[in-house]
Amino acid sequence: MEPERFQHSTAGRLIRARQADVEYWVFVPNPLPPGLNRSNKRLRLTLSKADHALGELAGLGRTLPNPHLLIAPFIRREAVLSSRIEGTRTSLGDLYAYEKGQTPPPGEMEPPSEADTQEVVNYVHTLEFGLEQIELGQPISLWLIRGLHAHLMEGVRGAAYHRPGEFREIQNFIGPDNHLHHAKYVPRHQCKCNNA
């Protein structure tokens, strides 16, 4: 982890930790919710604009026979961007082509690996599964979180290592390989969450 990238963060602080013989930095977020200065004119204006935009979006959604058509592109965009943290190199165009069973013409850019694209597809399916569960009245619970993780890891590289649908009992991190000292980001690890 590159501590200089987090030194001036208003979202939390870094501390040193150790696992076996490896010492590393861990990011500890500040407690939620953060304190907001409600008298800040710029903040009020931004919140007002966001509220207005959400109202327009809700109105548009009510006019569509299938509101899912409105959010599907955002789900895919989120899947592509979030998967990049893990090192995948699938673009939004690659994802749409894969979903339609298309491959790029010869001579064009090399397509992403099947494994990369499958991870992004799983992310899309996981988001859709989570939204369906919430629409059905399922509360956000440990059962739902484990189910989301199982969907996310289904048939992808690292599934055996990550134990789909189970909580990790070791330090989690984001990085290019399975070595903690190469991590780009290490969150705080506090509990041994058996299957509670």
pLDDT in tens, the chain (196 residues): 778 888 888 888 888 888 777 788 888 888 888 877 888 899 999 999 999 999 998 898 888 888 788 888 999 999 999 888 777 888 888 888 888 887 665 555 677 788 888 899 999 999 999 999 999 999 999 999 999 999 998 888 766 667 788 887 777 777 766 677 777 778 876 544 443 3
β-bridge partners, 22? 19
Structural domains in the chain (count): 1
Q: Is residue 136 part of a domain?
A: yes
> Has this prediction a pTM greater than 0.85?
no
Q: How many residues does the chain have?
A: 196
Q: Is residue 113 part of a domain?
A: yes
27 Cβ neighbours under 8 A, 6+ residues apart: 1, 6, 9, 12, 13, 14, 185, 186, 187, 188
Q: Is residue 119 part of a domain?
A: yes
* CA neighbours closer than 13 Å in the CB half-sphere of residue 173: 22
Q: Which residue range(s) make up the domain with 111?
A: 67-165
Tell me which residue has tokens 């696992």. Answer: 19
Within 10 A of 173 (CB to CB), how many other CB atoms are there?
Answer: 19
Q: Is residue 109 part of a domain?
A: yes
Q: Is residue 28 part of a domain?
A: no
